[in-house]
């Protein structure tokens, strides 16, 4: 079997933005899907390096392109091709992907909900979505959904406009993401007030996770992490460095983690296992959060989970996208060790999100979990009629 073509359809989905649906075609009529969160050209430039290769020799093909990726978003094209290769391999052998990477540890995979900030309480006042009661209202709406999530994650600090909505809440933060600044006492109190309000409504039945940055100064991060200790949150994410930053503050994260009992998480922007080596073997964080669409793919994120488990570090994969990346996470997480917590779902309320694929049992999320499918490959087929409704570029995808 040989790789014959590489195609990308760019879609623009309300609530998610633009992303690429990737398809690798072979000369035997078997094809595989991946998902890329980068410009279409980033993926297509890999075609000359994989054309004519045997797609089932996944690692051999990856050795030809892996060095062409980098920190988010530069690793997404490489990751998408890797997903597609495993999809092809599974279809060729009649096996689900999880059986090709070690076999499943669990029959269903926990999914947590990214909730963003609060709801807009006053249309004339954009800052009203950052009031504690706005977060409570959002929590109530998410809790009422049929997915029955067991973990909810909310944005505070610099990840949203929360700190910027409070006068004199920080020094130096200028409103340009990714931000950086030092949080004042007033700012810290505003963050904690939101957490307290959320815990009052969630109780100990539903876990609370927090996305806090990146960009808080080290003293600010320590003060917030310690202030969060009484609330038993699942984690505080990206307090120092994180999304869209091409580096990781390993030493500072280690000092932060040693300063608090609040679990500290980062990692969504990192490409390849090498970027996680120091975070893990120095126990710089309590939880790593690689993204299957940015870290290098399914086998790569599984390897990171195995390595983290040796050091007692947990894993809660970041995920933002369509059901293709979602199912890639399901297969990877199914085979991860017992250090797996949950992976992220960022598409609550996105129109026709589930309709992009057919094959797996629906709803894809039930009682806070996704069922691990037994169909070959990723267990999905992309519905081209739905893709066509949101298509921006890549009409050749349908040829």
Question: 329 lies in a domain?
Answer: yes
Does residue 124 form part of some domain? yes
What is the model's pLDDT at position 177?
Answer: 86
Give dist(CA 11, CA 56) in Å, integer. Answer: 28
| 346 in the same domain as 280 | yes
Asked if residue 205 belongs to a domain, the reply is yes
132-143 and 185-202 are packed helices; what angle lies between their axes, rounded to 10 degrees?
A: 30
Residue 399 lies in a domain: no
Model confidence band, residue 378 (pLDDT cutoffs 50, 70, 90): very high
The pLDDT, as a whole number, for residue 316 is 99
pLDDT band of residue 243 (cuts 50, 70, 90) is confident
| CATH number where 66 lies | 3.30.390.10
Same domain, 186 and 38: no
Q: What is the mean pLDDT of residues 71-83?
A: 97
The 10s digit of each residue's pLDDT in 248-289 is 999 999 999 999 999 999 999 999 999 999 999 999 999 999
pLDDT of the residue at 217: 97
- Residue 244 scores a pLDDT above 90: no
3-state helix, strand, coil in the chain (%, to 5): 40, 20, 40
Question: Would you give the distance in Å from CA 335 to the centre of its chain?
Answer: 17
Q: Are both 202 and 270 inside the same structural domain?
A: yes
Confidence of residue 27 (pLDDT cuts 50, 70, 90): very high
**Of 37, 39, 89, nearest to 61 (Cα)?**
89
| Within a domain: 31 | yes
* CA 152/CA 65 separation, integer angstroms: 36
Residues 61 and 174 in one domain: no
Give, as one character, the DSSP assignment of residue 261: S
Statement to judge: residues 114 and 229 lie in one domain: yes
pLDDT exceeds cutoff 90 at 399: no
CATH of the domain at 211: 3.20.20.120
Rounded Cα distance between 138 and 307, Å, is: 36
High-pLDDT (> 90) share of the chain, % = 97
Q: What does the mean pLDDT of the chain come to?
A: 97
Three-class HEC string of 40-109: HHHHHCCHHHHCCCCCCCHHHHHHHHHHHCCCCCCCHHHHHHHHHHHHHHHHHHCCEHHHHCCCCCCCEE
Using the predicted structure, report yes or no on whether residue 143 has a pLDDT greater than 90: yes
pLDDT value of position 251: 98
What per-residue confidence (pLDDT) applies to 213? 86
Instruction: Evaluate whether residue 176 is within a structural domain.
Output: yes
Same domain flag for 146 and 77: no
Q: What is the mean pLDDT of residues 124-142?
A: 97
Q: Which candidate, 191, 195, 200, places its Cα nearest to that of 170? A: 191
Asked if residue 45 and residue 194 are part of one domain, the reply reads no
Residue 128: helix, strand or coil by DSSP?
Answer: helix
Residue that wins the pLDDT comparison between 93 and 161: 93
Domain count within the chain? 2
User: Minimal CA–CA distance to 356: which of 20, 1, 41?
Assistant: 20
Question: Can you give the pLDDT at residue 71?
Answer: 95
Distances 395 to 164, 306, 387 between C-alpha atoms, Å: 42, 40, 10
Q: Assess whether 181 and 278 both reside in one domain.
A: yes
Q: Mean pLDDT throughout 40-58? A: 98
User: Do 248 and 120 share a structural domain?
Assistant: yes
Would the CA dihedral through 321, 134, 242, 175 be positive or negative? positive
Per the structure, the complete domain to which residue 73 belongs is given by: 3-94+382-394
Residues 215 and 331 in one domain: yes
Distance CA 341, CA 112 (A): 9
| 368 and 386 co-located in one domain | no
Residue 283 lies in a domain: yes
Q: What pLDDT, on the 0 to 100 scale, is given for residue 277?
A: 98
Percent share of the chain, pLDDT over 70:
100
Based on the fold, state whether residues 167 and 283 are members of the same structural domain: yes
Predicted confidence at residue 137, as pLDDT, reads 98
């Amino acid at each position: 079997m040989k790789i014959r073509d590489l195609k990308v359809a760019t879609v623009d989905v309300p609530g998610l933005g633009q992303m690429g649906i990737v398809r690798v075609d072979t000369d035997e009529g078997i094809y595989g899907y991946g998902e890329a969160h980068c410009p279409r050209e980033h993926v297509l430039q890999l075609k000359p390096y994989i054309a004519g290769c045997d797609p089932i020799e996944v690692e051999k093909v990856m050795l030809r392109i892996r060095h062409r990726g980098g920190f988010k978003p530069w690793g997404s094209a490489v990751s998408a091709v890797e997903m597609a290769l495993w999809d092809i391999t599974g279809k060729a052998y009649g096996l689900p992907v999880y059986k090709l990477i070690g076999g499943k540890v669990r029959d269903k995979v926990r999914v947590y909900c990214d909730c963003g900030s609060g709801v807009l309480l006053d249309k004339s006042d954009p800052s009203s979505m950052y009031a504690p009661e706005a977060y409570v209202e959002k929590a109530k709406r998410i809790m009422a959904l049929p997915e029955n999530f067991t973990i909810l994650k909310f944005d505070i600090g610099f990840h949203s406009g929360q700190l910027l909505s409070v006068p004199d809440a920080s020094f130096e933060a200028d409103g340009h993401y990714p931000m950086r600044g030092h949080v004042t006492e007033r700012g810290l109190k505003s963050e904690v007030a939101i957490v307290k309000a959320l815990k009052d409504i969630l109780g100990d039945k539903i876990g609370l996770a927090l996305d806090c940055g990146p960009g808080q100064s080290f003293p600010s991060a320590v003060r917030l992490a310690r202030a969060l200790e009484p609330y038993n949150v699942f984690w505080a994410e990206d307090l120092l460095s994180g999304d869209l930053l091409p580096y990781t503050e390993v030493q500072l994260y280690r000092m932060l983690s040693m300063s608090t009992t609040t679990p500290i998480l980062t990692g969504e922007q990192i490409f390849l296992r090498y970027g996680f080596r120091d975070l893990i073997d120095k126990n710089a964080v309590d939880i790593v959060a690689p993204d299957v669409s940015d870290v290098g793919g399914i086998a790569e994120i599984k390897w990171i989970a195995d390595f983290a488990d040796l050091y007692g570090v947990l894993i809660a994969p970041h995920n933002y996208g369509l059901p293709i990346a979602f199912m890639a996470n399901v297969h990877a997480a199914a085979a991860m060790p017992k250090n797996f917590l949950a992976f992220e779902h960022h598409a609550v309320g996105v129109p026709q999100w589930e309709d992009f694929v057919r094959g797996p049992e629906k709803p894809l999320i039930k009682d806070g979990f996704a069922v691990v499918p037994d169909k070959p490959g990723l267990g999905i087929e992309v519905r081209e009629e739905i893709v066509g409704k949101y298509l921006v570029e890549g009409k050749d995808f349908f040829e």
